Amino acid sequence: MAEQIGINDLRLFPEYTRESYEAVCGAQAPPFDLTKPVKTWFDPAGAGAYSQLVNGAPPSFAPLVMTPAEAKTVNLPGAYRYPAYEVQPTLAVMVWGNLRPLASAATLSTEAEANLLGAELGVVPSIPSVETTGIKFEWRGETRRNWEIVVNGTRYNVQSLLQTKSVAGVGAPGKWVKDDVGSLVWESLPQVTQPADGRAVPVPVRTLAEDEEFASTPFGWVVRKKEVAPNPTPAGDTGEILRLVTAIAKTLGIQ
């Protein structure tokens, strides 16, 4: 290594902004989580146990511990682009006598989607009977169904609610509320993009090698190689050298 390096050169991982993270990783960083401190680095290995630098004169080190999942993830301020909701087409048809018109994919959802929405609203989803809707289907390999939920006596198609919930993109913040007549309404909420305080997870650093030390400079603290003191000449060797110098001086007639 160089004889002297800056303190920041001890850092084990690079830091990112949302833009640089996406450029390097090929995907957006997760949405910013206001409940957690800013975290500008990640460890692909998820080690979770590191050292952090503590400011002082001289600086020192302290443990930095987190879960592997936390170590692998960033928490970067800035806006997240929520993807648009897409309804996949279907081959299912409705049966009306001899007619077989294509079913509307905008009314079909998976059981998992229905259960998640039902849990969110505190109700149990169900598939309406033919007697209720008057509609029969030929599913033709389609695994989605026309799931529905009932809230305050009103029936809602699950897929329709999912599209309503995703008006600002899949996963965009918001909440379900009821209007004046008790109908479900999705209320979009502003996206939180900036921290409310200065909390941040420090970047892990390596500790000093045995031959390194902190040194103060006019520009701050640096890390440098320790100075190695010269080996003193043993006393026995000093006497022998003195005798040789004396003998040489006599020979040359200068003593």
- Collapsing DSSP to helix, strand or coil, 65 comes out as strand
Residue 205 token pair: 């650093």
pLDDT confidence bin for 236, thresholds 50/70/90: low
pTM score of the predicted model: 0.77
> Are 211 and 226 contacting, i.e. CB atoms less than 8 angstroms apart?
yes
Closest CA to 76 of 16, 35, 13: 16
**pLDDT at 189 (0 to 100):** 96
pLDDT category at 233 given cuts 50, 70, 90 is low
The one-letter amino acid code at 56 reads G
| Residue range 47-87, pLDDT digits in tens | 999 999 999 999 999 999 999 999 999 999 999 999 999 99
Predicted confidence at residue 252, as pLDDT, reads 59
Average pLDDT over residues 5-16: 97
Of the two residues 42 and 219, the one the predictor is more confident about is 42
Contact 12/49 with Cβ under 8 angstroms? no
Which amino acid makes up residue 16?
A: Y
pLDDT digits (tens, 9 = 90+) for 99-136: 999 999 999 999 999 999 999 999 999 999 998 888 89
pLDDT at 78: 98
Each residue of 170-227: pLDDT tens digit? 999 999 999 888 899 999 999 999 999 999 999 999 999 999 999 999 999 999 999 8
| pLDDT at res. 227 | 82
Which pLDDT score is estimated for 118? 97
